[in-house]
């Protein structure tokens, strides 16, 4: 396996853009990534694209093909990947594997999404043989209701308070206001968050991420090519994809009995563990983490599940300011999903952009001091998860 580097990243700001197509958003992100890498479109040998049915790609999730036609039909191969909210991280893993395995020297990874309004309807069909359709019809539980149950369980077992949940959102916007690509850049007080509308008790409007439009891109290449392009490459130390275990703490598929103390979101823990192992680092070696905070609950639960801190310690670290960029366990210095909103397939690539900027020391007021190693993680429909570790 060859060493792989990220040499260019680019992003389109997150928001809601009724007058722009997903291809318009991707074009901006791709052009920025190419410019950042100092290469032209003709230098790209393959495209790994995160795609979905929400915003098309010829109506079939062929976003990568739309990008190629937009940038110039040079005959290069396109790999379209779909893994729900983990699609961007999945596409990055495929791009990484193509370069590490020697198939190509320069690969573009891109993810772009225009989300429909309202709660995400995960099933695209009304078909009684589709388990996801049946789950929605029989359980009637959109994302915020599911997150609320997880959050309520933590409140009962750990003692998490509503004020502590609100402080996660306050912290996110405290750093996210400095991110020019974030959709929501206003600051909140704890009182502001607690006064926002209850969406699904105990979660309030400012404690969950909305749906957004956005796009991000990254240029990755072999070490030999990277050293010709830049003197400060960011290295891909680990990249992993995983799916949920049969005995996951969230009953899925045929697993009707959940063992006591089973890990929730086992796919995320597996992906993170694999990426750390590949990178030859432990949780304590990470300088910062970008994790999938669809809701404030995840910023508390995930670090404990992955060994970044002790069980029940996350609230203490939050209260002491240790999850800020200047703390000892920085979480989501970008502002995270709470500030960006969720443009599903783009999220994993957006995280790669943030890791790269942080490791370059180019994140401005939200910079993690002396950042050398960063972790990014995504979680998607179907028990999909990805993780990537970048180093400088």
pLDDT tens-digit readout, 211-222 = 999 999 999 999
Task: Show which of 197, 229, 261 is a domain's final residue.
Answer: 229
On average, the pLDDT of the chain sits at 91
**Whether 85 and 193 share a structural domain:** no
Same domain, 325 and 274: yes
Structural domain contains residue 329: yes
User: Does residue 123 lie within any of the structural domains?
Assistant: no
How many Å apart are CA 161 and CA 96, to the nearest integer?
A: 41
Provide φ and ψ at 222, rounded to 5°: -70, 160
Q: What is the pLDDT of residue 259?
A: 62
Helix (H) / strand (E) element for 91: namely helix 87-100
Residues 192 and 304 in one domain: yes
* pLDDT exceeds cutoff 90 at 124: no
pLDDT per residue as tens digits for the range 44-83 = 999 999 987 666 667 678 889 999 999 999 999 999 998 8
Q: Does residue 133 form part of some domain?
A: no
Q: Which domain holds residue 38?
A: 4-117+214-229
229, 263, 292 — which closes off a domain? 229
Question: Of 54, 66, 57, 383, nearest to 244 (Cα)?
Answer: 383
CA dihedral 53, 57, 62, 67 (to 10 degrees): -140
pLDDT score for 254:
44
| pLDDT band for position 262 (cuts 50, 70, 90) | low
pTM for this entry: 0.93
Amino acid 374: pLDDT = 98
Identify whether 129 is part of a domain: no
Query: Out of 36-50, 119-133, 268-282, 318-332, which region has the weakest mean confidence (pLDDT)?
Result: 119-133
Q: What are phi and psi of 146, to 5 degrees?
A: -65, -45
| Burial track 68-97 (b if 16+ CB lie within 10 A, e otherwise) | bebbeeeebebbbbbbbbbbbbbbbbbbbb
Per residue in 306-328, pLDDT tens? 999 999 999 999 999 999 999 99
Q: Is 175 within a domain?
A: yes
Residues 31 and 151 placed together within one structural domain of the fold? no
99 and 107 in contact (C-beta within 8 Å)?
A: yes
Taking CB atoms within 8 Å and a gap of at least 24, the contacts of 185-190 are 185/335, 185/339, 190/163, 190/166
Q: How many domains does the chain have?
A: 2
Least trusted range by pLDDT, from 72-76, 167-171, 257-261: 257-261
Q: Which of 352, 386, 353, 344 is nearest to 85 (CA)?
A: 344
Residues 356 and 337 in one domain: yes
Within-domain flag for 130: no
43: how many CB neighbours lie within 10 A of its CB?
17
82 shares a domain with 223: yes
* Residues 94, 19 share a domain: yes
CATH number of the domain that residue 298 is part of: 3.40.47.10
Within 13 Å, how many C-alpha atoms sit on residue 308's CB side? Answer: 27
40 plus 153 within the same structural domain: no
Sheet containing 78-81: order of strands: 78-81, 46-50, 106-114, 213-222, 4-15, 234-243, 384-391, 373-380, 288-290
Residue 243's closest CA among 262, 263, 271, 264?
271
Q: Using alpha carbons only, how large is the chain's radius of gyration in Å? A: 20
Q: Are residues 246 and 218 in the same domain?
A: no
Share of the chain above pLDDT 70, in %: 91
Q: What is the pLDDT of residue 255?
A: 46
Residue 203 domain flag: yes
Asked whether residue 135 carries a pLDDT value surpassing 80, the answer given is no
**Residue 382: per-residue pLDDT:** 81
With a cut of 90, say whether residue 302 has pLDDT above it.
yes
Sign for the CA dihedral angle at 252, 254, 255, 257 comes to positive
Q: Are residues 167 and 103 in the same domain?
A: no
Question: Residue 156 pLDDT more than 60?
Answer: yes
Please indicate, yes or no, whether residues 29 and 165 belong to a single structural domain of this protein: no
Say if residue 3's pLDDT is above 90.
Answer: yes
Domain-embedded: residue 136? no
Q: In residues, how long is the chain?
A: 392
**Does 172 share its domain with 297?**
yes
**Which neighbouring-strand residues pair with 1?**
none
């Amino acid at each position: 396996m060859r060493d792989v580097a990220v040499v260019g990243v680019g992003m389109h700001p997150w928001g809601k853009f009724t007058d722009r197509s997903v291809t318009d958003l991707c074009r901006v992100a791709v052009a920025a990534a190419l410019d950042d890498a100092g290469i032209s479109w003709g230098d790209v040998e393959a495209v790994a694209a995160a795609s979905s049915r929400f915003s098309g790609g010829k109506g079939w999730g062929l976003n990568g093909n739309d990008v190629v036609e937009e940038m110039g039909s040079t005959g290069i191969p396109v790999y379209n990947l779909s893994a729900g909210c983990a699609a961007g991280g999945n596409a990055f893993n495929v791009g990484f594997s193509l370069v590490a395995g020697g198939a190509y020297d320069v690969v573009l990874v891109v993810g772009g999404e225009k989300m429909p309004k309202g709660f995400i309807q995960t099933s695209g069909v009304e078909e009684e043989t589709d388990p996801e359709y049946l789950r929605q019809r029989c359980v009637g539980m959109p994302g915020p209701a599911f997150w609320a149950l997880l959050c309520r369980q933590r409140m009962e077992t750990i003692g998490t308070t509503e004020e502590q949940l609100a402080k996660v959102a306050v912290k996110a916007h405290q750093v996210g206001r400095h991110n020019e690509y974030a959709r929501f850049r206003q600051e909140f007080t704890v009182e502001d968050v607690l006064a926002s509308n209850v969406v699904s008790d105990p979660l309030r409007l400012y404690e969950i991420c909305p749906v957004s439009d956005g796009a991000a891109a990254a240029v990755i290449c072999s070490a030999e090519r990277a050293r010709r392009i830049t003197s400060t490459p960011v290295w891909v130390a680990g990249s992993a994809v995983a799916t949920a275990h049969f005995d996951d703490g969230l009953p899925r598929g045929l697993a009707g009995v959940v063992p006591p103390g089973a890990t929730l979101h086992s796919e995320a823990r597996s992906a993170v563990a694999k990426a750390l192992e590949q990178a030859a680092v432990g949780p304590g070696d990470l300088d910062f983490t970008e994790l999938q905070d669809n809701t404030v609950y995840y910023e508390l639960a995930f670090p404990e599940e992955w060994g970044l801190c002790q069980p029940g310690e996350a609230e203490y670290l939050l209260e002491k300011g240790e999850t800020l960029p200047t703390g000892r366990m920085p979480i989501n210095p970008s502002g995270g999903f709470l500030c960006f909103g969720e443009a599903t397939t783009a999220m994993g690539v957006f995280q790669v952009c943030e890791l790269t900027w942080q490791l370059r020391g180019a994140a401005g007021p939200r910079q993690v001091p002396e950042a050398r190693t960063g972790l990014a993680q995504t979680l998607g429909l179907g028990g999909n998860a990805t993780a990537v570790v970048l180093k400088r």
